[in-house]
């Protein structure tokens, strides 16, 4: 990872901030992107001259393009683009409004699409690069129905990135496209969910954010297509997608909905 230039969206806190800190520790240079300018500036100051903060609304295509340009102006190139920005929701499928769905798709799916389309010409010119989309275990398993639109938007991310791999495979084999699927992580995710939610850090078995950052950093150093941050999820995926009928498996999910 030494001297790689890594752009990280959603970098003001949580997984994004943890990845940025670890990347700098391993010798990378980072471009931090998020809407919260004060928090970005504080993290950039902490990381020193190997970090640049760029206020970015990832739901806007033009902001993603400006982020790419700022990163190249600051460090001369981009080696890795980590599309990490995202937001949850607390709504049953029957309760979803048009606004709910539009916001989930804009923040969780379109932001990834815009980031890919912004950075891909640069990667193609260099004939190498790495796109890392931070998805979710909820893209594969509907553990709790109140995350319905979030799960759907993250499932769309998984298939977008898989389709990108298919597009690039023959002509650009050195441009990697990866998805990372965390479970519950001890971050502000639950508190920031649209419609409110439980504090993710207080949920049983929440994974420390540092562990997830380590997995993403290892993925950057040794690229592969998909990574679950917990081996139990990979094992569940093997059972779930090979089952003739997933009904019994789904009955065992049983995550309670957050209190209203």
Sequence-ordered list of residues with C-beta below 8 angstroms from that of 100, at least 6 positions apart, any chain: 89, 91, 149, 194, 195
Are 149 and 89 within 8 A, CB to CB?
Answer: yes
CA distances (Å), origin 86, targets 1, 192, 202, 258: 25, 10, 20, 19
C-alpha span between 52 and 73 (Å, rounded): 11
- Please name the helix (run of DSSP H) or strand (run of DSSP E) that holds residue 21, with its range, or none: helix 14-25
Q: How far apart are CA 186 and CA 43, in angstroms?
A: 19
Q: Could you give the C-alpha distances from 118 to 56, 61, 82, 110, 115, in angstroms and in order?
A: 13, 8, 13, 12, 5
Residue partners of 43: CB distance under 8 A and separation at least 6 = 11, 12, 17, 20, 21, 32, 51, 53
- Which amino acids are annotated catalytic? 150
């Amino acid at each position: 990872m030494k001297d790689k230039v890594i752009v990280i969206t959603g970098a003001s806190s949580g997984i994004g901030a943890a990845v940025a800190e670890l990347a700098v520790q391993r010798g990378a240079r980072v471009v931090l992107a998020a809407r919260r300018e004060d928090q970005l500036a504080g993290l950039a100051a902490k990381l020193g001259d190997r970090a640049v903060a760029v206020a970015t609304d990832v739901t806007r295509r033009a902001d993603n393009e400006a982020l790419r340009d700022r990163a190249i102006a600051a460090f001369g190139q981009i080696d890795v683009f980590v599309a990490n920005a995202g937001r949850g929701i607390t709504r049953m499928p029957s309760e979803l409004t048009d606004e709910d769905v539009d916001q989930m798709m804009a923040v969780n799916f379109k932001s990834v699409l815009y980031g890919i389309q912004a950075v891909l010409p640069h990667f193609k010119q260099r004939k190498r690069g790495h796109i890392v989309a931070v998805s979710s275990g909820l893209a594969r398993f509907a553990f709790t129905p109140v995350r319905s639109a979030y799960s759907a938007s993250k499932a769309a991310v998984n298939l977008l990135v898989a389709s990108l791999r298919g597009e690039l495979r023959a002509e650009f084999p050195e441009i990697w496209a990866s998805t990372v699927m965390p479970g519950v992580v001890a971050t502000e995710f639950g508190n920031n969910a649209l419609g409110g939610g439980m504090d993710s850090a207080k949920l049983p078995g929440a994974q420390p954010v540092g562990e997830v950052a380590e997995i993403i950093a290892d993925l950057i150093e040794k690229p592969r297509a998909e990574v679950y941050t917990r081996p139990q999820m990979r094992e569940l995926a093997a059972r779930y997608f090979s089952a003739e009928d997933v009904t019994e498996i789904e009955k065992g999910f049983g995550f309670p909905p957050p209190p209203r």
